[in-house]
Amino acid sequence: MSIESIQQEALLAIETASSVAALNEVRQQYLSKKGSVASLMNTLKELDPEERKSFGAQVNALKQSLEAAFETAQTRLEAIELALNLKKEALDMTLPGTTMVSGTLHPLTMVTQAIEDIFLGMGYHVVEGPEVELDLYNFERANIPANHPARDMQDTFYIDVEWLLRTHTTAIQTRALEASAPHVPLKVICPGKVYRKDDDDATHSHQFMQIEGLVVGEGVSMANLKHTLETLAKAMFGEERKIRLRPSYFQFTEPSVEVDVSCHICGGKGCGICKHTGWIEVLGAGMVHPHVLKIAGYDPDKVSGFAFGCGVERIAMLKYGVDDIRHFYTNAKPFLSVFKRFE
The residue (of 6 and 211) whose beta carbon lies closer to ligand DAH is: 211
Do the Cβ atoms of 187 and 121 come closer than 8 Å?
Answer: no
Looking at 129-137, 180-188, 227-235, 304-312, which segment touches ligand DAH (CB under 6 A)? 304-312
The residue (of 14 and 229) whose beta carbon lies closer to ligand DAH is: 229
Tell me how far apart the alpha carbons of residues 168 and 175 are, in angstroms, rounded to a whole number: 12
Do the Cβ atoms of 142 and 173 come closer than 8 Å?
Answer: yes
> Binding to ligand DAH by residue 170, rule CB under 6 A?
yes
> Binding to ligand DAH by residue 192, rule CB under 6 A?
no
Binding mask 238-257 for ligand DAH (x = CB under 6 A): ------------x--x----
Q: Which of 233, 285, 296, 315 binds ligand DAH (CB under 6 A)?
A: 285
> Binding to ligand DAH by residue 107, rule CB under 6 A?
no
> Binding to ligand DAH by residue 327, rule CB under 6 A?
no
> Binding to ligand DAH by residue 191, rule CB under 6 A?
no
> Binding to ligand DAH by residue 284, rule CB under 6 A?
yes
> Binding to ligand DAH by residue 305, rule CB under 6 A?
no
> Binding to ligand DAH by residue 228, rule CB under 6 A?
no
> Binding to ligand DAH by residue 279, rule CB under 6 A?
no
The number of residues that bind ligand DAH (CB under 6 A) is 12
> Binding to ligand DAH by residue 212, rule CB under 6 A?
yes
Looking at 2-10, 127-135, 291-299, 305-313, which segment touches ligand DAH (CB under 6 A)? 305-313
Tell me how far apart the alpha carbons of residues 185 and 180 are, in angstroms, rounded to a whole number: 9
Looking at 68-76, 133-141, 226-234, 306-314, which segment touches ligand DAH (CB under 6 A)? 306-314
CB of 266 to ligand DAH, least distance (A): 26
Looking at 50-58, 81-89, 283-291, 316-324, which segment touches ligand DAH (CB under 6 A)? 283-291
Q: Which of 107, 191, 286, 305 binds ligand DAH (CB under 6 A)?
A: 286
CB of 91 to ligand DAH, least distance (A): 59
CB of 172 to ligand DAH, least distance (A): 10
Rounded to a whole number of angstroms, the distance between the first and last alpha carbons of the chain is: 83
Q: What is the 3-state secondary structure (H, E, C) of the chain?
A: CCHHHHHHHHHHHHHHCCCHHHHHHHHHHHHCCCCHHHHHHHHHHHCCHHHHHHHHHHHHHHHHHHHHHHHHHHHHHHHHHHHHHHHHCCCCCCCCCCCCCCCCCCHHHHHHHHHHHHHHCCCCEECCCCCEEEHHHHCHHHCCCCCCCHHHHCCCCECCCCEEECCCCHHHHHHHHHHHCCCCCEEEEEEEEEECCCCCCCCCCCEEEEEEEEEEECCCCHHHHHHHHHHHHHHHHCCCCCEEEEEEEECCEEEEEEEEEECCCCCCCCCCCCCCCCEEEEEEEEEECHHHHHHHCCCCCCCEEEEEEEEHHHHHHHHHCCCCHHHHHCCCHHHHHHHHHHC
Q: Which of 27, 141, 166, 168 binds ligand DAH (CB under 6 A)?
A: 168
Looking at 53-61, 215-223, 272-280, 281-289, which segment touches ligand DAH (CB under 6 A)? 281-289
Give me the residues that bind ligand DAH (CB under 6 A), please: 168, 170, 173, 212, 250, 253, 284-286, 307-309
